């Protein structure tokens, strides 16, 4: 195939929007997300011989991005906590089927999840990966992935329900939810 490098590029291009959305969900900031995607593209390019054409390039790129994100986080330490929350910055989405308040609540709810659960629910629910793929990306067991997703879903449902009923106000919600127990 003469088109090998080009098709690698093409496949990367096709994956970039989703990869970028995942990066935004990890970093909570668009500029940081773009830097992260850029680093990922360079890493991936350098490693492209280790990628087998025809296999899942999307999962491969997500893995690289995620590893890059956590390794940068470890290097930077505290600075990393400086985010605006998941999907918050610059993102004024008001999909027609939801009111804007509704989506704000949802973003907040998502933000309150422990990192591993948020990541899991996004990979499965939004990026469109299977549990097996998501488990590979996060380097955990499939069962762990399933349990993270299920916990995340339960929590999100709880939070949204409380917000929906909402005589309680934000304090009741956050105090219930901000029990950050990283129990695995």
Could you tell me where the beta strands, DSSP code E, fall in the chain?
Answer: none
Closest by CA to 28, choosing from 106, 70, 88, 113, is: 88
DSSP 92: -
Q: Which residue's CB is nearer to other proteins, number 42 or number 172?
A: 42
Q: Does 41 bind other proteins (CB under 8 A)?
A: yes
Q: Does 163 bind other proteins (CB under 8 A)?
A: no
Q: Does 43 bind other proteins (CB under 8 A)?
A: no
User: In which element (H, E) is residue 60 found?
Assistant: helix 57-76
CB of 77 to other proteins, least distance (A): 27
Q: Does 137 bind other proteins (CB under 8 A)?
A: no
Helix axis angle for 115-125 and 142-165, nearest 10°, is 100
Q: Does 125 bind other proteins (CB under 8 A)?
A: yes
Q: Does 173 bind other proteins (CB under 8 A)?
A: no
Q: Does 140 bind other proteins (CB under 8 A)?
A: no
Q: Does 162 bind other proteins (CB under 8 A)?
A: no
Q: Which residues of 139-176 are buried (b: 16+ CB within 10 A; e: fewer)?
A: ebeeebbeebbebbbebbeebbebbeeeeeeeeebeee
Which residue ranges make up the site for other proteins (CB under 8 A)? 5-6, 9, 12-13, 16-18, 20-22, 24-25, 34, 37-38, 41-42, 45, 49, 87, 91, 93, 95, 97-98, 103, 106-107, 110, 121-122, 124-132, 134, 142, 146, 149-150, 153, 156-157, 160
């Amino acid at each position: 195939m003469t088109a090998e490098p080009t098709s690698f590029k093409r496949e990367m291009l096709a994956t970039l929007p989703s990869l970028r959305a995942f990066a935004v969900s990890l970093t909570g900031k668009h500029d940081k997300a773009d830097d992260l995607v850029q680093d990922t593209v360079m890493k991936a390019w350098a490693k492209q011989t280790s990628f087998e054409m025809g296999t899942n390039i999307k999962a491969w790129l997500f893995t690289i991005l995620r590893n890059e994100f956590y390794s940068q986080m470890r290097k930077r330490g505290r600075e990393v906590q400086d985010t605006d929350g998941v999907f918050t910055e610059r993102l004024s989405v008001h999909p027609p089927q939801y009111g804007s308040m509704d989506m704000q609540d949802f973003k907040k709810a998502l933000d309150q999840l422990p990192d591993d659960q948020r990541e899991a629910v996004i990979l499965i629910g939004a990026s469109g990966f299977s549990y097996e793929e998501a488990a590979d990306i996060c380097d955990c067991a499939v069962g762990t992935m399933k349990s993270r997703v299920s916990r995340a879903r339960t929590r999100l449902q709880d939070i949204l329900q409380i917000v929906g009923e909402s005589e309680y106000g934000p304090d009741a919600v956050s105090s219930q939810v901000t029990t950050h127990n990283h129990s695995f």
